Amino acid sequence: MTTDLPIIRLRPKSKPQAIRHGFPWVFADELVVDRRTRAIPAGSFALLEDAERKPLGLATVNPNSKIIARIMDPDPEALITRDWIVTKIARAHEMRSRLFDQPFYRLIHAEADGLPGTIIDRFGDAAVIQPNAAWADRMIADIADALREVTGVTTVILNGQGRSRSLEGLEERTDVLSGEVSGPVQVQMNGAIYLADLTQGQKTGLFYDQRPNHAFGQRLAKGARVLDVFSHVGGFGLAALAAGAAHATCVDGSAAALELAHGGAKAMGCDDRLTTRQGDAFAQMEELLAEGAQFDVVICDPPAFAPSKPALEAGLRAYERVAKLAAPLVAPGGYLGLCSCSHAADLSAFRNASARGIGRGGRRMQLLHTGQAGPDHPTLPQLAETGYLKALFFRLDG
């Protein structure tokens, strides 16, 4: 019974309205943190009350994290069991099945799908789980069982790496929980073929969030010379080739990622139209500028330069520098796509940094299109972090 659970309580000056209206996090400075709270094992469950002892819901607690509590269920009598997880995954699966013809998508997008701190990406008969919250790490066996029951996948991989886990005080680990992985998985998306490394690749192996932005880039790419900077496994470059680009150049710091990009192009039968350049993206853009290279379409999709508020100022300078270096690489009348996956940099700040950089690069611009993540990455309106991705497409003159 939930009555056996410990009780955690908001401080008197904390505002419970946000929790009642759907905000899913409680920060450590908002909670009464006494010896009993500190003694709660990370990933355990507790009843959350406001300062007047009125229930706010069932939460998971991690005394090691700045996000000390995450709302699991607004019902304080809820039981977080395997069946509860099955219900959440089944609801998410039903929606993705309506949206996508093939089983390649983000199945669980953390808080927005009701499983706090938990990411699940599906790759056909395989799925990768990122348990980025302590409760999910403790219940990984139940999550994997529920996932197999709902979806029928046979191979389940735990990818326990990245900044989110370190912020939770969790160790890095990677494990094949069921099935086997014999090599990269082919993923068809927007007519392109990508190779996803589910065990050694970045994140879960592929970035599904860019799917609609790849599609918009394809509308600009027919017959074009395309430069894809920070390309990973060829995201925008392979999409452009699938749409009939004359040639694509992919730039990335990872030789392994570029090898997968070549593999995808070969599977598509167009590896003769793909060139890769391995090295620091900023240095590579500077080298291309020195070579006098220009492209009809240039798209830059860098990592999160501003993953937190303290990193915001430096991150915006980095985005401005990307735009400044990329703008001169665009042929007159060509197109520039700039992306940010930093939740700390909102759309307005990112757009302003990008415009400054383009101006400093000596170009005038029209903003054609603003994109975001696809519908398999739903947003929780109360939590800005779930709507992190921004994509801006410009046409450059002069």
What is the 3-state secondary structure of the chain? CHHHCCEEEECCCCCCHHHHCCCCEEEHHHECCCHHHHCCCCCEEEEEECCCCCEEEEEEECCCCCEEEEEEECCCCCCCCHHHHHHHHHHHHHHHHHHCCCCEEEEEEHHHHCCCCEEEEEECCEEEEEECCHHHHHCHHHHHHHHHHHHCCCEEEEEECCHHHHHCCCCCEEEEEECCCCCCEEEEECCEEEEECCCCCCCCCCCHHHHHHHHHHHHHHCCCEEEEECCCCCHHHHHHHHCCCCEEEEEECCHHHHHHHHHHHHHHCCHHHEEEEECCHHHHHHHHHHHCCCEEEEEECCCCCCCCHHHHHHHHHHHHHHHHHHHHHEEEEEEEEEEECCCCCCHHHHHHHHHHHHHHCCCEEEEEEEECCCCCCCCECCEHHHHCCEEEEEEEEC
Q: How many degrees, rounded to 5, is the angle at CA 117 between CA 114 and CA 122? A: 75
Q: Give pLDDT, residue 200.
A: 86
Q: Average pLDDT, stretch 190-207? A: 93
Q: Which amino acid is at 273?
A: R
Q: Give pLDDT, residue 203.
A: 82
Candidate CATH numbers 2.40.10.10, 3.20.20.80, 3.30.360.10, 3.30.750.80; the one for domain 82-178: 3.30.750.80
The span from the CA of 84 to the CA of 78, in Å, is 9
Q: How many degrees, rounded to 5, is the angle at CA 179 between CA 177 and CA 185? A: 105
Better pLDDT: 162 or 326: 326
Q: Give pLDDT, residue 45.
A: 98
106, two tokens: 């983000």
Q: Give pLDDT, residue 162.
A: 84
Confidence bin at 386 (pLDDT 50/70/90): confident
Q: Average pLDDT, stretch 345-350? A: 96
Instruction: Give me the chain's average pLDDT, please.
Output: 96
Could you tell me which residues come within 8 angstroms of residue 94 by beta carbon, excluding any fewer than 6 positions away? none
Residues forming the active site: 341
Say whether 82-178 and 2-73 share the same fold. no
201-397 carries CATH number 3.40.1440.10: no
Matching residue, tokens 């029209």? 366
Q: Give pLDDT, residue 163.
A: 85
Q: Average pLDDT, stretch 200-208? A: 89
Could you tell me which residues come within 8 angstroms of residue 327 by beta carbon, excluding any fewer than 6 positions away? 336, 357, 358, 361, 362, 363, 396
CB 238 within 8 A of CB 265: yes
Q: Give pLDDT, residue 13.
A: 86
Q: Average pLDDT, stretch 267-274? A: 98
Q: Average pLDDT, stretch 69-73? A: 98
Q: Give pLDDT, residue 384.
A: 84
Confidence bin at 385 (pLDDT 50/70/90): confident
pLDDT one-digit tens code per residue, 108-124: 999 999 999 999 999 99
Q: What is the pairing mode between strands 155-160 and 173-178?
A: antiparallel
Helix 312-326 × helix 281-291 angle, to 10°: 20
Q: Average pLDDT, stretch 199-209? A: 90
CB 2 within 8 A of CB 78: yes
**In the predicted structure, residue 22 carries a pLDDT above the cut 60:** yes
Q: Where are the domains of the chain?
A: 2-73, 82-178, 201-397
CA contacts within 13 A on the Cβ side of 264: 37
Percent share of the chain, pLDDT over 90: 93
300, two tokens: 């830059």
The span from the CA of 319 to the CA of 96, in Å, is 32
Phi, psi of 379 (to 5 degrees): -105, 150
**In the predicted structure, residue 164 carries a pLDDT above the cut 90:** no
Distances (CA, A) of 101 to 26, 98, 210, 304: 38, 8, 17, 30
What residues pair up with 298 in beta bridges, in sequence order? 227, 336
255, two tokens: 């030789």
Please state the separation of Cα 124 from the chain's center in Å.
19
- Report the CATH architecture of 2-73: Roll (2.30)
Phi, psi of 259 (to 5 degrees): -65, -40
Q: Which amino acid is at 191?
A: G
The span from the CA of 36 to the CA of 33, in Å, is 8
Q: Give pLDDT, residue 1.
A: 44
CB 168 within 8 A of CB 117: yes
pLDDT one-digit tens code per residue, 212-237: 999 999 999 999 999 999 999 999 99
